[in-house]
Amino acid sequence: QADIIVVTPYNAQQVTVEQALADAGFPDVPVGTVDRFQGQEAAVAIVSLAASSGRDAPRGL
């Protein structure tokens, strides 16, 4: 069981986060979609949500 996991909603984002962690010296941090980690626990779960550029998807804020 990992102490830290990173959960993302999309497969493409998973790949991006895995590469960023590897580049930062953390290649062993598990990264996966919600489906992969369903029912699992970790001491720390980082949730990385995607967002479009404000110009691509204005929210009227």
Q: What is the pLDDT of residues 27-56, one digit of tens each?
A: 999 999 999 998 888 999 999 987 666 666
Say if 60 falls within a structural domain: no
Say if 22 falls within a structural domain: yes
> In 10 A of CB 24, how many CB atoms?
9
Say if 8 falls within a structural domain: yes
Looking at the 3D structure of the chain, how many domains does it have?
1
Say if 61 falls within a structural domain: no
| Angstrom distance (rounded) from CA 8 to CA 33 | 5
Residue 4 has pLDDT above 60, yes or no: yes
The whole domain housing 32 covers 4-47
Output phi, psi for 45, to 5 deg. -120, 115
pTM of the model: 0.78
Q: CB–CB of 6/30 below 8 Å?
A: yes
